[in-house]
Structure 1
Amino acid sequence: MSVDLKAWIGRQEERRERLEPARTHALLAALEQPAGLADGDVMPPLFHWLHFWDPKPPSETGPDGHPARGGFLPPVALPRRMWAGGRVEFVRPLRLGEEVRKLSTIDDVQEKSGRTGALIFVTVRHELHGSGGLAVRERQDLVYREAPPRGAPAAAQPPPAEPEPADWREEQAAGPVLLFRFSALTLNSHRIHYDRPYAVEEEGYQGLVVHGPLQATLMTGLAGRKLGAPARLDYRAMTPAVDLHPISVCGRRHGEGADIWVEQHGRRTMTGTLALGAAA
């Protein structure tokens, strides 16, 4: 019997957590950045993704490492799930040590068709409330797709392209150790990020896949260090980046914002736009 996935629209869940500095320190150390923050200091943008875990026992995970379908997210039958992009509004700073309430809502479920077959898009809205009220408003776009035929060769990487002009460009190694540590800090057990035989043989990638949220964190953090606190981020995954080569984190200022992106071999793997402005 088919499941009415749209019945999940409006479903909510709530989590509460203290923003312990240890997780922020661990990611900053993994990225070779200073990690001397303490309770009361402003959390770097997007580091809230290190919190609000929903740990599941192995018996409640699927073959790809994700939690089994159903529960808060709708039970989409398509086997491949990706974080395709989203929007984050930074209303006011989150501070380390703060008690934060996260309210998540399924906003929409859409079935579409693409060049790889059937696609299902699930839109999730998150609101994070700290001691001063609403701090972060976020939309996440998840996409589910069909699996490639078993044994199909990994998709060929596009040939290198000339890098686009940028006001800043910083190379970042994205090897297995960084990918493993980011998976651990976000409690992301999707095997494409740490299990090379699975990523290549089962899901058809060239190597281990660099997390979309890691790329968004890198490009937003670098832009923030160049330009100041962001007020809004829109971002979209373009093509997979893999651990076999470094990535370049880039940006170009325009007016009161910036275009930001991540490149590998000159091809954009993630793009974004950043609106500037100090949080209240």
Structure 2
Amino acid sequence: METSTSNIATLDAAAIDHLREWVGRSETLEDTLCAAPLRGFSATLDRDDPAPVRGTVLPPLGHWLYFLPHAPQSQIGPDGHPRRGGFLPPVPLPRRMWAGGRLRWDPANPLRVGDEARRVSRIESVTHKQGRTGEMVFVLVKHQVHNAQGLALTEEHDIVYRAAAQPGETPPPPTAAETTAPWRREIVPDDVLLFRYSALTFNGHRIHYDREYVTQVEGYPGLIVHGPLIATLLTDLVRRHAAPGANITRFEFKAVRPTFDLHSFHVNGAPSADGRRVELWAHDHEGWLTMRGFAELG
């Protein structure tokens, strides 16, 4: 989950039309799927995986370690993010969140260490809405990742931009999560874990590692656990408990509530009777739902 602060600009019809000019824009990035990031990935998830070698299949969401943005230091904003513009529309609302996503893997063509891969990204839609706490802009990005054999992965990425929080604003009521599950793991999100994941994904956003910034500038009680990290921990839970040889072919997730590093949290899974689908969710130390999703196995 990602947020930042800046001056609010009300979006009139002309501004919304301007943002919609980004629909259809595309970007192509190429990368070599090398082994080094996967070694860091396994260590960060506290796994004892064999050392990856050429031909090793990438774990679910391992592709997030590649095709990373590399904005020059001079183009980084005060929150640690690259300054807005470029491929994504320059939405002037200050808070940004990776709200969720939907992914499908081709089980016949997995991404492997050593692949020369290409990611083609396209802005599918830009939607403006007026919510209970102000205006919001939803940007849907579609990524397709190819290797030499063809399309290997399709991902839809939901980004939400929101107005800044107002003094006295009441947050939406939390949702109680089921706190018992067949698969369950407690996660201690210390600042080392958050720093390591930020480093793996080249994410400079200060809310994940700069405690002074996140508490004094952003006004949050602690460091914010990355939404993609929680999603990764959900898929890792499946890897730890699913039957040998069962691979995730589809995964969906939606962020519901921020998670802070002040307390441990839990990732949970409940497989279907046939073992082909797993309901997944995360909850905080108070039992409030923070992320929900599911995985399909093939």
User: What TM-score, normalized to structure 2?
Assistant: 0.86
Q: How far does residue 45 in structure 1 lie from its aligned partner after superposition?
A: 0.6
1:37 is aligned to 2:52: yes
Aligned to 2:294: 273
What are the ranges of 5 or more consecutive residues in structure 2 without an aligned counterpart? 1-13
- SS of the aligned residue for 2:224 comes to coil
Q: How many angstroms apart in 2 are the aligned matches of 1:29 and 1:155?
A: 39
Q: How far does residue 158 in structure 1 lie from its aligned partner after superposition?
A: 8.3
CA contact (8 A) 2:20 2:126 kept: yes
Q: Deviations over 1:95-134 (max 9, x none)?
A: 1111101000000100112222111111000000012211
Aligned to 1:111: 128
1:99 is aligned to 2:116: yes
1:26 is aligned to 2:40: yes
Q: How many pairs were matched up?
A: 275
Aligned match for 2:97, one of 82, 85, 88: 82
Aligned AA for 2:77? Answer: G
Aligned match for 1:260, one of 280, 283, 294: 280
Q: How many angstroms apart in 2 are the aligned matches of 1:157 and 1:106?
A: 29
Q: Deviations over 1:143-163 (max 9, x none)?
A: 1111224xx589899899675
CA contact (8 A) 1:155 1:206 kept: no
Q: In percent, how many aligned pairs have the same letter?
A: 47
Q: How many angstroms apart in 2 are the aligned matches of 1:190 and 1:153?
A: 26
Q: 1:160 to 1:269 in 2, by over 3 A?
A: closer
CA contact (8 A) 1:17 1:52 kept: yes
Q: 1:155 to 1:169 in 2, by over 3 A?
A: farther
1:121 is aligned to 2:138: yes
Q: How far does residue 241 in structure 1 lie from its aligned partner after superposition?
A: 0.6
Between 223-232 and 79-88, report the one with greater CA deviation. Answer: 223-232
Q: How many angstroms apart in 2 are the aligned matches of 1:121 and 1:162?
A: 26
The aligned runs of 1:1-280 (5 Å cut-off) are 2=15, 4-35=18-49, 36-91=51-106, 92-149=109-166, 163-227=178-242, 228-254=246-272, 255=274, 256-265=276-285, 266-277=287-298
- SS of the aligned residue for 1:128 comes to strand
Q: 1:153 to 1:201 in 2, by over 3 A?
A: farther
Q: 1:155 to 1:218 in 2, by over 3 A?
A: farther
CA contact (8 A) 1:154 1:200 kept: no
Q: How many angstroms apart in 2 are the aligned matches of 1:69 and 1:15?
A: 19
Aligned AA for 1:6? Answer: R
Q: How far does residue 260 in structure 1 lie from its aligned partner after superposition?
A: 0.5
Aligned residues: CA RMSD = 2.2
Q: 1:157 to 1:6 in 2, by over 3 A?
A: closer
Aligned AA for 1:122? Answer: V
CA contact (8 A) 1:53 1:187 kept: yes
Q: 1:186 to 1:155 in 2, by over 3 A?
A: farther
What are the ranges of 5 or more consecutive residues in structure 1 without an aligned counterpart? none
Aligned to 2:3: none
